[in-house]
Amino acid sequence: MQQFFIVLCLVLMVVAGGAAVMLRSMLKSTISLGVASALLAAVLFLLGAFWAAIFELSVCSGLITVVFVSAVSLTNSDRKDEEHVKEHRARVAALPAILIFAGASLLFILFSHDFNIVISSTPASFAAFKEALWSLRQSDILGQIIAILAGTFAVIVLFKERDNI
């Protein structure tokens, strides 16, 4: 039953991702991205990655969608995208080639001899997660701090002082 839900969520996620690519309205495609992100969070939850799922749901499908929606409304680009897509047949023609290549490599992966992947994990306990995060991944935590600092300075440079020039 759990497997069925995983598969269902994955299929829906791919559909939502495809919609984010194909929809002409930027707003709708942004929202599709958020939906895909939420469905991914469900998959993560079903696979046993609770904490990752919570982060994915709140940050990716929440925060990033907000960022995109505000970017779309700030740049007024909702309508303009439509014209561009049409003149773009040549690039679209690359799609079958990509798909064939991808399909071939996938078949290669899936049907090579004695290749067997079994999802074996049990959900990680909170204690194990805490141990992993705080005592094993110190450099990542430092990295997160620095990355947030970088993001702050980026916002200062790109938004706050833009009008001074």
Partner 1 sequence: MITFATISFLGLPLLAILLLNVVSKKTGGAISISVGYVVAIIQMIAAVVCMALLWMHGKDFIEFSLFWDMNATLGAAKLSVDLFSLVVLFCIGMVSLASLLTAKKTIGEKTLNYTNLLMVIMLGMNGIAVVTDLFSLYVFLEITGIASFVLIALLNDKRGLEGAFKYLVMSAIASALILGSFALIFTQTGSLVYGDVAKALADWRNAQYAPLLIVGFVMFIAGFSIKAGIAPFHGWLPDAYQSAPASVSVLLGGIVTKMAGVYALIRVLNSVFVAMPMINNTLLILGLISIVFGAVAACGQKDFKRILAYSSISQIGYIILGVASGSLLGFVGAMLHFFNHATFKTTLFVNSAAVEMQTGTTDIDQLGGLQARMPVTAVSSILAFLSMAGIPPLAGFWSKLLIIIAVWQSVSAVGGGIALAASIFTAAYFLILQRKVFFGPLEDHLTEVTEAKGTISLAAVLLSIVTVAFGVLFPVILNFLHLQGIL
Partner 2 sequence: MNIVSAIILTAALLMIIAGMFCLVRTYNLIRIIIAIEIAMKAITLLLVFAGAVNGNMALSQTFVITMIVIEVIVAVVAAGIAISLYHKNGNVDIRELTNLKG
**CB atoms inside a 10 Å sphere around CB 89:** 8
Q: Which does 91 bind (CB under 5 to 8 A by kind): partner 1, partner 2, none?
A: partner 2
Distance from chain centroid for Cα 40: 8
- CA–CA distances in Å: residue 62 to residues 43, 154, 165: 17, 21, 33
Percentage helix, strand, coil for the chain under 3-state DSSP, each rounded to 5: 80, 0, 20
Q: Which stretch binds partner 1 (CB under 8 A): 1-9, 31-39, 84-92, 156-164?
A: 156-164
Q: Which does 73 bind (CB under 5 to 8 A by kind): partner 2, partner 1, none?
A: none
Q: Which residues contact 38 (CB under 8 A, 6 or more apart)?
A: 57, 61
Q: How many residues are there in the chain? A: 165
**According to CB under 8 A, which one of 74, 95, 98, 136 is a site residue for partner 1?**
136
Q: Find the shortest distance in angstroms from Cβ 64 to partner 2.
A: 5
**CB atoms inside a 10 Å sphere around CB 37:** 21
Q: Find the shortest distance in angstroms from Cβ 99 to partner 2.
A: 7
Q: Which does 119 bind (CB under 5 to 8 A by kind): partner 2, partner 1, none?
A: partner 2
Q: Which does 128 bind (CB under 5 to 8 A by kind): partner 1, partner 2, none?
A: partner 2
Binding site for partner 1 (CB under 8 A): 105, 108-109, 112, 115-117, 131-132, 135-140, 142-144, 146-147, 149-151, 153-154, 156-158, 161-162, 165
